[in-house]
Amino acid sequence: MSILVFVEIAEGKIKKTSIEAVAYATAMGGEVTALAMGDIDQSELAALGNYGATKVIHAGDSRLNDGVILAYANVITAAMKTSGANTLVLANSSLGGSVSAHVSIKMNASLVSNVVALPETSGDFKVKRSIYTGKAFATVVLNKANKILAIKKNAVEIKETGGTASVESFEADLSDHDFLTKITGVQKATGDVLLPEAEIVVSGGRGLKGPENWGIIEDLAKALGAATGCSKPVSDMDWRPHHEHVGQTGVKVSPSLYIAVGISGAIQHLAGVNSSKYIVVINKDEEAPFFKAADYGIVGDAFEVLPKLTEAIKAANQ
């Protein structure tokens, strides 16, 4: 089996979710070729060998520095055809989702997104995916010879193999049609740690009473190297930016640790955090439904508990 993995680049580095995709493909077994697009250091690409890729093909056309969906889909399709791969693995990201959908039509492939485990391939090719925003799972059979798996964050453990990959450049025929979508500007989110990919998230809810009180959330996040999030009403009231809104209708996170402060734990909020490994809830109401979904809980006033917790964590870090 020959597997192509599409890897995404951010700030000159391969994204962690893409490294997970390489690790996933390696764990599936077979020949793993990675495909990267746009400007990036060759050494970064060769390092993908450490996660199991034997070869990296690099479409270095600078028009591919921006994530233009049609162009990406065309390059991936060409790379699948050239490398003879019948399986494409990629991260289920904001870009990867749309790109894989376009490729699935071009390649007449079965596409499954939000994949959470390695496939079973003894009989039919089956894979488990998350559905109902993490409230359930479905095992599905892929019907077509060509297959695309978009992997949810944290579905596999990254293992280092110590290998290096050969890097080849790759050129695909691209036309003006592929660049109809013009990306006229890129605005970076505020904060050092990006919410969708964060290992630790500290979120605040309406219990914080107002945007002026977010300092205690930011201090704790800073002490932990965490991203900040919030509940929907908080972003609806513009206390926090929209991209911080976590939940069923917002960002879905799957960090190792999610700390919820002054959030009641409505089912729509829980849906966005239920694939976190550990959940800590701090709420002054012991009846808050969030405690039922938590691993650790503190009943108390956020304004008193948070500064103490931040200090204790700073001390522990020293």
Partner 1 sequence: MKILVCITHVPDTTSKIAFTDGDTKFDTTGVQYIIGPYDDYALARAVELKEQTEGSITVLNVGTAETEPTIRKALAIGADDAIRVNAEPTDSLFVAQQIANAVKKEGFDLILMGRESLDFNGGMVHGMVGELLGIPSVSPVMTLDMDGFTAKMTRETEGGKESIELDLPFVAGCQEPIAEWKIPNMRGIMSARSKPLNVIEPTGNDQGATLEKYELPAAKGAVKMVSADNVQELVDLLKNEAKIL
Ligand X SMILES: Cc1cc2nc3c(=O)[nH]c(=O)nc-3n(C[C@H](O)[C@H](O)[C@H](O)COP(=O)(O)OP(=O)(O)OC[C@H]3O[C@@H](n4cnc5c(N)ncnc54)[C@H](O)[C@@H]3O)c2cc1C
Quickly count: other Cβ atoms within 10 Å of residue 256's Cβ: 12
Cβ proximity to ligand X: between 155 and 260 the closer is: 260
Residues in the chain: 318
Cβ proximity to partner 1: between 5 and 270 the closer is: 270
Cβ proximity to ligand X: between 21 and 263 the closer is: 263
* Minimum distance from residue 48 beta carbon to partner 1 (Å): 19
* Minimum distance from residue 132 beta carbon to partner 1 (Å): 5
Q: Which does 2 bind (CB under 5 to 8 A by kind): ligand X, partner 1, none?
A: none
- Measure the CA–CA gap between 39 and 191, rounded to whole angstroms: 25
Q: Which does 63 bind (CB under 5 to 8 A by kind): ligand X, partner 1, none?
A: none
Q: Which does 214 bind (CB under 5 to 8 A by kind): ligand X, partner 1, none?
A: none
Of all residues in this chain, which one has the CB nearest to ligand X in the complex? 247
Structure tokens given for 193: 């740690």
- Measure the CA–CA gap between 9 and 203, rounded to whole angstroms: 27
Q: Which does 159 bind (CB under 5 to 8 A by kind): partner 1, ligand X, none?
A: none
Q: Show the CA angle centred on residue 99, arms to residues 95 and 101, nearest 5°.
A: 125
Cβ proximity to partner 1: between 4 and 103 the closer is: 103
Quickly count: other Cβ atoms within 10 Å of residue 143's Cβ: 9
* Minimum distance from residue 125 beta carbon to ligand X (Å): 33
Q: Which does 39 bind (CB under 5 to 8 A by kind): partner 1, ligand X, none?
A: none
- Measure the CA–CA gap between 196 and 186, rounded to whole angstroms: 17
Residue 195, CA distances (Å) to 201, 222, 251, 252, 302 in order:
7, 13, 8, 9, 21
Cβ proximity to ligand X: between 96 and 297 the closer is: 297
Q: Which does 55 bind (CB under 5 to 8 A by kind): ligand X, partner 1, none?
A: none
**DSSP codes joined into one string, 83-135:** HT-SEEEEE--HHHHHHHHHHHHHTTEEEEEEE-SPPB-SSS-EEEEEEGGGT
Q: Which does 231 bind (CB under 5 to 8 A by kind): ligand X, partner 1, none?
A: ligand X
* Minimum distance from residue 20 beta carbon to ligand X (Å): 24
Cβ proximity to partner 1: between 42 and 249 the closer is: 249
* Minimum distance from residue 233 beta carbon to ligand X (Å): 5
Answer yes or no: are the C-beta atoms of 90 and 21 closer than 8 Å.
Answer: yes
Binding residues for ligand X (CB under 6 A) = 205-207, 231-234, 247-250, 262-264, 266, 268-269, 272, 283-285, 288, 301-303
* Minimum distance from residue 236 beta carbon to partner 1 (Å): 8
Sheet holding 109-115, edge to edge: 126-131, 109-115, 146-151, 87-91, 2-7, 31-37, 55-59, 166-169
